[in-house]
Structure 1
Amino acid sequence: MKIVVTGGAGFIGSNLVRALTDLPRVTEVVAVDDLSTGALDNLLDLPARLVTGTILDPAVLDEAMSGAASVVHLGALGSVPRSIDDPLRSHHANATGTLMVLEAVRRHRVPQLVLASSSSVYGANPVLPRQEALRPIPVSPYAVSKLATEAYAVAYASCYGMDVLPFRFFNVYGPRQASNHAYAAVVPRFVSAALEGRPLQVHGDGTQTRDFTYVGSVTSVIVEAILRRVSSPDVVNLAFGARISLLELIAELERVLGRRLEVVHGPPRAGDVRDSQADCSRLRELFPAPRRYSIREGLEATVAWMSQRGLVRR
């Protein structure tokens, strides 16, 4: 069974490629990545083939997808602040890129497409927990581009009979997540600063909440979806409803490290959602026993990986 992962050299993609290469039923794994945000180091020593190029190029997708049993579309340009700085680039990568992938999947008659949207699509909708039927009120170009991603997938399923499984990811974190750029996510930023002895920069008062999801949970659900050929005509939250504040996250990181951390507060960021929490009822209908990691387990694994890789100084 051949599996194609777009964004395969990125954070979630490389973790998924690693999990897939361990499966006896998977005979070939192909990672597609233009390496604009992904890294070759993420795929070192893995028996996977890398097709280097953009998902906006049909020839790149044709090279990767011929004979594939499933495609997992994770290729995207992440970050709300990045999308505010350059909305056109986010739209091209995320919305147009998804359309190109869908056309390639249709062209090659790939039996299954799993793809990633984002909890950011809920935006300003104040209802918690976030249930998939809630009205999306996106407040950033990134969120709009991910809403387009899932809407295209659902439309293609309806028009062309494609088997799709669109997930909404919630603040995924863990090993191989970049910490050294301006648009880094909050967990790797906090861990990197803590290990290097720098103050943790918090945008706002720190009481804003997130449903942090360890990458191992995400990859285990996707692997199960591939092996059981799970599809859904509707989008599915991929998180577990474990909402915590940034201040609580910092407190847990302090317990993991066994010391107090310095925190510096700054103004809130444009486009940030105040609170986020998943309703996971639909996820549990499709995946009755997903692998779930506590925030403590996830932080311990993230700290260990960043330390062992020598990415930061203690």
Structure 2
Amino acid sequence: MIETLKGKTVLVTGGAGFIGSNLCETLLLNDINTVCLDNFATGKRENITPFLKNKNFKLIEGDIRSLKDCHVACTEVDFVLHQAALGSVPRSIKDPVTTNDVNVSGFLNMLVAARDAKVKRFVYAASSSTYGDHEALPKVEEVIGKPLSPYAVTKYVNELYADIFQKTYGLDTIGLRYFNVFGKRQDPNGAYAAVIPLFVKQLIKHESPIINGDGSYSRDFTYIDNVIQMNILSLTTTNKDALNTVYNVAYGERTTLLELATLLKKHLSEFDKSINNVEIKHRENRVGDIPHSLASIDKAKLLLGYNPKYNINDGIKKALDWYWKHL
């Protein structure tokens, strides 16, 4: 399906970030004209350095909080993959104002710029945090609870704005509720590092990974290649019924944090046997964390033909190959 994008231009906001740079790479490998908009607040220049000499790649240093930057980035663009955001529940609790500025005001700027540029389709990163305090598993797109963090509020507001822009201005959108994405280029450093790269870094250094709570909390960990597949399907689908809605992006299986740490130890021990002896430690649960997360992916399968290729074990193996070489 990606062949249908030949001759088109795709804007990836947050294109120097973890998910964004992987999307840019896939587009460029398929000779698709790719524009990257990033302010490098959380994105890394090294993530896109290999792309800078590619004739199909254009970098715009700018901020989605600037409507002018958004208009510049959307010039002569056919499709948008909007990945730019400030992630992390703890960061949003510490600084809700900046999280809102980026994730809500920045999102609105991008919608306005895409509308004005007559972009054909706007695909954006939503979040599984939108399910909030709704406890039923698996998570089904049409049933959500109340948000449990400022971050979750911002991602839900994105969905509301996308719906309004379709109804009011005719801008076709698709929201992708990501479930705990992991893979190459995910940053293991910083106060808000995701759990998998953080644990990997700690284990490689023979430091104990610290689990919040007793380790029974569970997540639907989703390898990056599954996420790329969903983004491309969302850009290229010709099924009108598949547009202007939201989808879970996941594998459809859950893994406890204790199982995750054990799995990482097992596979990293193939590189360094002494890692098997590293102790796993525990501390108090974190405010705003959802206890359990498991996605239904039936809607994505039905309407988009989604068929995730990588389960947690296969994804971990591929991710660890990369981390072992780069950490």
- Relative to the length of structure 1, the TM-score reads 0.95
Structure 2 Cα separation of the partners of residues 99 and 292 of structure 1: 33
What whole-Å deviation, never above 9, does each CA across 1:63-100 have from its counterpart, x for those lacking one?
A: 21111110011000000000000001101110111101
Q: CA deviation at 1:260?
A: 4.1
What residue is the counterpart of 1:256 in the other structure? 267
Gaps of 5+ in 1: none
Structure 2 Cα separation of the partners of residues 87 and 130 of structure 1: 26
**Contact 2:233 / 2:306 at 8 angstroms: preserved in 1?**
no
**Contact 2:300 / 2:306 at 8 angstroms: preserved in 1?**
no
Answer yes or no: is 1:218 the counterpart of 2:224. Answer: no
Structure 2 Cα separation of the partners of residues 58 and 139 of structure 1: 29
Structure 1 Cα separation of the partners of residues 161 and 74 of structure 2: 19
The one-letter amino acid of 2:103's match is N
Q: How many residues in Structure 1 have an aligned counterpart in Structure 2? A: 308
Answer yes or no: is 1:41 the counterpart of 2:52. Answer: no
What whole-Å deviation, never above 9, does each CA across 1:163-194 have from its counterpart, x for those lacking one?
A: 11111000001110111101001111111111
Q: CA deviation at 1:290?
A: 2.3
Superposed counterparts of 1:269-308, under 5 Å:
269-308=286-325
Q: CA deviation at 1:292?
A: 2.1
Answer yes or no: is 1:32 the counterpart of 2:49. Answer: no
Answer yes or no: is 1:72 the counterpart of 2:81. Answer: yes
**Contact 1:256 / 1:296 at 8 angstroms: preserved in 2?**
no
Superposed counterparts of 1:97-108, under 5 Å:
97-108=106-117
Superposed counterparts of 1:135-174, under 5 Å:
135-174=144-183
The 10-residue stretch of structure 1 (82-91 or 291-300) with the greater mean CA deviation from structure 2: 291-300
What whole-Å deviation, never above 9, does each CA across 1:208-234 have from its counterpart, x for those lacking one?
A: 000000011101221232233565222
What residue is the counterpart of 1:87 in the other structure? 96
Q: CA deviation at 1:62?
A: 1.8
Q: Which aligned segments of 4 or more residues in structure 1 are displaced greater than 6 angstroms? A: none
**Residue 44 of structure 1 aligns to a residue in which SS?**
helix
Structure 2 Cα separation of the partners of residues 4 and 62 of structure 1: 12
**Contact 1:112 / 1:229 at 8 angstroms: preserved in 2?**
no
Q: Which of 120, 133, 141 is 1:132 aligned to? A: 141
RMSD of aligned C-alpha atoms? 1.3
The one-letter amino acid of 1:216's match is D
Structure 1 Cα separation of the partners of residues 78 and 238 of structure 2: 10
Identity of aligned residues (%): 37
What residue is the counterpart of 1:242 in the other structure? 253
What residue is the counterpart of 1:21 in the other structure? 28
Structure 2 Cα separation of the partners of residues 40 and 144 of structure 1: 29
Answer yes or no: is 1:181 the counterpart of 2:198. Answer: no
Gaps of 5+ in 2: 1-7, 270-275
**Contact 1:71 / 1:112 at 8 angstroms: preserved in 2?**
yes
**Contact 1:166 / 1:232 at 8 angstroms: preserved in 2?**
no
What whole-Å deviation, never above 9, does each CA across 1:89-142 have from its counterpart, x for those lacking one?
A: 101110111101000000100011000110011111111100011133110000
Structure 1 Cα separation of the partners of residues 45 and 101 of structure 2: 23
The 10-residue stretch of structure 1 (227-236 or 173-182) with the greater mean CA deviation from structure 2: 227-236
The one-letter amino acid of 1:263's match is I
What residue is the counterpart of 1:120 in the other structure? 129
